[in-house]
Amino acid sequence: MLPSQRALFDIPRDICYLNAASYSPLPIRTLEAGRTAVGRKGRPWTLEAGFAYAQHERARTAAARLIDAEPSDIALIPSISYGVATAAKLLTPGRGTRVLVLENDHSSPVLEWQTRADAAGFTVETIKQPDDADWTSAVLESIERTGGPPVSLASISSVHWSDGGLIDIDKVGTALRQRGAAFLIDATQSAGVLAMDVKRLDPDFMIFPTYKWLLGPYGRAFLYVAKRHQNGIPLEQTSAGRRNVRAENAVYFTDLSYVPDARRFDMGERDHFISMEMASIGMEMVAEWSAPAIMQRLTMLTERIAAGVRGIGVSVPEPHLRAPHILSLAFKGGMPPGLVEGLASDGVYVAPRLGRMRISPHVYNDEADVDRFVEVLTRRLRG
């Protein structure tokens, strides 16, 4: 089993940080690279001519490796919402159709479609959070329901951010393809931890940031665009997205046609001085550990927590219904006021999410961390 990687992070021993699903700490190596990168911005004349391009392609390649994509299918973007807005410019659901979203899903894969629905004449259908925690069955039931408008798109997270509910994107993708519907996957809570293969899954779009499970900075995200959509018009019009609009040319606007792949969808003002390299380092580290090894370790930690909290008045979803790296605790009568704050005062950090407590360990956590969490939680609930 992959051992704890705590030594690679600047985490004091008295800190029990179990909140990777909100934002992860940066590895020491990434912190050092960030400091060096800030120095580059202070002395830009030291940069080689090809430095920016090399940074962009390094990050693109690292992101592609995580989902078994080609680098040419990956666009450099700043956020999930930017990626969804790009997808909405490339793919317009037909009038009289349904777009499926999840109840209480994060705002990014939902709001864009709600905003466009009236003008475009489609309906946004919200799949209710199932009482039995079986998100996959709930999604499939909505897709397969007859007698209503046809489904044109599902825009959903692969792991529900609030409760860690796991959606079987293989089954959902198959059901959507059988109906000629498109599939946008917000992989924020799964990229790098759950093995994903876009060549097999064949989604229309997959989007993920680096600041959570990929141990990277804010403002860096990546958009996978299936080849069937790569001839569309980007959200922004940039020189880098065109074949030959270059400052070093004698004629600036030499060739206005778009580059032929997902690079045309890159954001404007692509960062290359500071955070792009930081994002690459985190993704490369995650890829080297491998998703199966990370998942095995985090499954061990969350199962250890689940076993430890039995009998203290909390309930945990069954393992086959939840992501292996996120644990959501429900409290009979609701989570006690001040509980999360009380844990933090003891150096234990988790997140309150829609009335539950979300625990999300990562590779920097170890058995001592999870045992301490169980001990502190038990003491506070019983006290």
User: What CATH code is carried by the domain that includes residue 375?
Assistant: 3.90.1150.10
98 and 126 share a domain?
Answer: yes
Per-position DSSP letters for 152-184, written without gaps between them: EEEEEESB-TTT-BBP-HHHHHHHHHHTT-EEE
279 and 307 share a domain?
Answer: no
Would residue 254 count as lying in a domain? yes
CA 316 to chain CA centroid, Å, is: 23
47 and 189 share a domain?
Answer: yes
The domain of 366 spans 6-18+290-382
Would residue 26 count as lying in a domain? no
Please, which pLDDT band fits residue 126 given cuts at 50, 70 and 90? very high
Residue 271 has pLDDT above 90, yes or no: no
Tokens at 262, concatenated? 């997902």
pLDDT digits (tens, 9 = 90+) for 10-57: 999 999 999 999 999 999 999 999 999 999 999 999 999 999 999 999
CA dist 42 and 276 (Å) reads: 16
pLDDT digits (tens, 9 = 90+) for 370-381: 999 999 999 999
129 and 11 share a domain?
Answer: no
Tokens at 45, concatenated? 């004349």
Q: Which parts of 54-97 are beta strand (E)? A: 74-77
Tokens at 12, concatenated? 């004091």
164 and 296 share a domain?
Answer: no
CA dist 298 and 293 (Å) reads: 9
261 and 308 share a domain?
Answer: no
pLDDT digits (tens, 9 = 90+) for 292-318: 999 999 999 999 999 999 989 999 999
Residue 101 has pLDDT above 90, yes or no: yes
Residue 242 has pLDDT above 90, yes or no: yes
**What percent of the chain is predicted at pLDDT more than 70?**
100
282 and 320 share a domain?
Answer: no
Identify the pLDDT of residue 272.
Answer: 83
206 and 309 share a domain?
Answer: no
Choose the final residue of a domain: 236, 260, 287: 287
Strand-strand pairing, 327-331 and 356-359: antiparallel
Q: In terms of Cα–Cα distance, which of 365, 355, 353, 372 is closest to 22?
A: 353
Tokens at 373, concatenated? 């969490």
CA dist 73 and 234 (Å) reads: 14
Residue 273 has pLDDT above 90, yes or no: no
Would residue 61 count as lying in a domain? yes
**Phi and psi torsions of 334, nearest 5°:** 100, 155
115 and 65 share a domain?
Answer: yes
Would residue 361 count as lying in a domain? yes
Would residue 31 count as lying in a domain? no
Would residue 23 count as lying in a domain? no
Q: State the residue for tokens 């940074």.
A: 55
Supply the mean pLDDT for the chain. 96
Identify the pLDDT of residue 300.
Answer: 98
73 and 146 share a domain?
Answer: yes
Identify the pLDDT of residue 80.
Answer: 98
Would residue 277 count as lying in a domain? yes
294 and 282 share a domain?
Answer: no
User: What CATH code is carried by the domain that includes residue 178?
Assistant: 3.40.640.10
Choose the final residue of a domain: 287, 307, 330: 287
Choose the final residue of a domain: 287, 318, 333: 287
Domain count, the chain: 2
pTM of the shown model: 0.96
pLDDT digits (tens, 9 = 90+) for 173-232: 999 999 999 999 999 999 999 999 999 999 999 999 999 999 999 999 999 999 999 999
**Phi and psi torsions of 70, nearest 5°:** -85, 140
176 and 202 share a domain?
Answer: yes
Mean pLDDT of 114-143: 97
Would residue 214 count as lying in a domain? yes
Q: Which residues contact 381 (CB under 8 A, 6 or more apart)?
A: 312, 313, 314, 336, 339
